[in-house]
Every structure is written in C-alpha cells, then in structure tokens.
Amino acid sequence: MVALASAVVAAGTVTGMMSALDDGRGGDEARPDVSGTPFLQPLPHLPTSSSSTTSGSPSPSPSASASKGRPSPQPSGSASTKPRTVPVSARLYRHGDSQVLDWVRANPDDPRRPVIESRIADHPAAVWFADYTPSNITARVRAVTSAGAAKGGVPVVVPYAVPDRDCGGASQGGAPDLGAYEGWIEKFAAGLGTREVVVILEPDAIAQSDCLSEGERTARFDALARAGRVLKAANPKARVYFDAGHSDWNPPRKQAGLLRRAGAASAASSDGIFSNVSNFNRTDGEAAYVRQTLDALGGPASLGAVIDTSRNGNGAPADGEWCDPAGRKLGQAPTLRTGEARIDAYLWVKLPGESDGCRGTPGTFTPDYAYDLAR
C-alpha cells in the first residue's frame, strides 16, 4: 500500500494549512525562501510537554490516505514550443494566520516552542480555501494576495472545492455541482490581484478520479481546464499547477493523459503540475516522476512542476503507513529557486504538524507531532 497525494480528513469543515479568514487580523509577515543548505539539520532532543492541547484555527489540513500500487511508468516524448519562464520574485510569502503560529504565540514557555517556531512556523506554507462560501471567497483570497504583495513575497494558495472531492471519503465536500464550482472559481480568481501568486489547483481532483463515471470525469476535467483559464485570465502573473498525484500513484504516461484532458498541457490554463501533496516520497524520486510526466504530457517548454517537501525528509515509510507515520522528518525548506531543471519550486503545501488523524484530531496542529518532525 502507498499513500495518496492528499485528502482532507474532516468532512464538513473548513480545510487549510493556514486559515484564510476575512477577520482583519494583522501579523502577516513575509519570510525569504531558504537558500544554501537544502535540508533542515537535526536538533537535540527536548523534553515533551505533557500537554498536547491544540490551539488556534480549527481549519483541518489535508492528509494522506491509502491506495493500491500502480504499474511501472512508461516514457513518452515531449513538445517544446517556447523557453521556460521563472517567477520574478525570489521569495515566498508567509501568511500570518495559521494554526502553528497561533500555538507558538500561545505557548511561549513550552520547551518545544523554539524548535517548532524556527523549523516550521517561520517558514512559508500554502493557504487553503476548502469551504464553499461564494459570498466571501473573493475577499478572503484578496486578503492573502494583497498582504503578500505588500510584503514583496509570492503567496501559495490552494482552491479545494471541486464537487465529489476525495471520492466521498473523509474529505468529501466542496461545491454542490460543477455549475456552482465554476461560479466559485470565478470569485476565487477575482481575489488573485495583479502580482505573482502560485495556485495549487484542486489536489486529488485528477489523480483521484477513478471513482467517477467517464461522463463525470470528462465534466470535471472540463471544469478544471476552465478554472485554469479563468485564474490566469484574472491574473496573468498567476502560476497555476495541476494535480499529478505522486510517484507511487499513477505511472507518468497515464497521469499525463489525465492531465492533458484537464487542460494542463495548455499555456492558457496551466504552468505545469504538482506532486506529493501531503505525502512523504523523497524529492529526487518525485523530481524524476514529474519530469517523466511532463515529457509525456507535452505542451510548451514553459511547463514545470512543484513538489511538496513538507514531510519527506526521511522518505515514505516502508510499510506504507499514511496516517502520521513515525520517523518522518521535514524535507527541503520552501523555495522558488530549486536549481533543478523543470522544478519550479519546493513548497510546503501540507503544513508540518497538522495531524492526519492519528497523533491528534484530524487537520489540527499537534505539537508533539510537529516537534518530532522538526527536531
């Protein structure tokens, strides 16, 4: 058994690495991306507090779930039509509203705090929008993107409201139908502003589409292609990435075929693909996988990939455990400068320390788990 790309584990609640609320709270802060040492170095063990109370935002974050293994990938050719483009800005934006920051502020004397603060809270991570709230989604997205622009950083935002998400599993929810979703994504796009922003479009929506009928799958893929076009038309500087699952899910050629149907090969809707969201696969394996997938996908040479490195420092557990597995560590720090061909960024899409549901309440920040990942 291997772990899926991501799945939010609390049905009927707002999902998010960081909650993007329109409550006017301050404290937004951009932090530069880390260069030099690509891995976070281990720290000495500190005593664990007897309290593991979770504080802060109730927004649960995505987590992995189990899936069967897939056959070996098959290579395919690629098409190159224009040179690669890269973001102008060199740093990612760290939003000031998150569960880990709430915990750090509320626990100044906790012995785990210095490690959690420096290794997790001080790093930029994605901001998820998973509740279907058309009335305020534009304002909530704008609050993040405008704050990022003011700080000179690039925000990472995750629209996660496609109907029938997670195939009716623990992460079920989203818009009531594709017509409603199209309206929601238009309102989402209206909040993107005019500066650079990275959009991780609907984790699981393509790789985890086997539960849909062929007609339903086609309709979803058409909606995703349209979503990409809407996002990029609203903000030409937005970089939109489509769901490629991860290297232990579909082989590159199969995933590329699904991605092509969803518009990921078109420069009008896509800047490339993302992989390993909420998963544990090592960066080098994911980099090889996304390059093979991009080769099979075709499209312009400008297409690249981003990889979630938030919890992959020790790779995936050998036994396939997906729920807060022991022995995992932080991976590469988030950066827009990877130095790797066709790899546009390493991102923390899943915020380390937000539980899959075994070490703590699903989707909530769990300090013992965060500390184990960070030390």
User: Distance between CA 196 and CA 76 in Å, rounded?
Assistant: 32
CB burial readout 185-210, b (16+ within 10 A) else e: bbbbbbbbbebbbbbbbbbbbbbbbe
Is 344 catalytic? The answer is no
Amino acid at 190: A
Is 110 among the residues known to form the active site? no
Are the beta carbons of 258 and 265 closer than 8 angstroms?
Answer: no
20: Cβ contacts below 8 Å, ≥ 6 apart:
95, 97, 127, 128, 129, 140, 141, 143, 144, 157
Q: Say how far apart CA 254 and CA 44 lie, in whole Å.
A: 44
**φ and ψ at 167, to 5 degrees?**
50, 35
Report the interhelical angle of 214-234 vs 178-189 (nearest 10°).
20
Give the angle subtended at the CA of 40 by the CAs of 38 and 45, to the nearest 5°: 165
Active-site choice (166, 243, 248, 308): 166
Active site residue 222: no
Q: Do 192 and 234 meet the contact criterion of CB atoms below 8 Å apart?
A: yes
What is d(CA 308, CA 331) in angstroms, rounded to the nearest whole number? 9
Decide: 129 and 161 in contact? Cβ < 8 Å.
yes
Burial 79-110, CB ≥16 within 10 A → b, else e: eeeeeeeebebebbbbbbbbbbbbbbeebeeb
- Given the residues 204, 243, 271, 324, the one annotated as active site: 204
Residue of 28, 131, 324, 356 marked active site: 356
Who's near 112: CB < 8 A, 6+ residues apart?
46, 48, 49, 367, 368, 370, 371
What residues act catalytically? 166, 204, 356
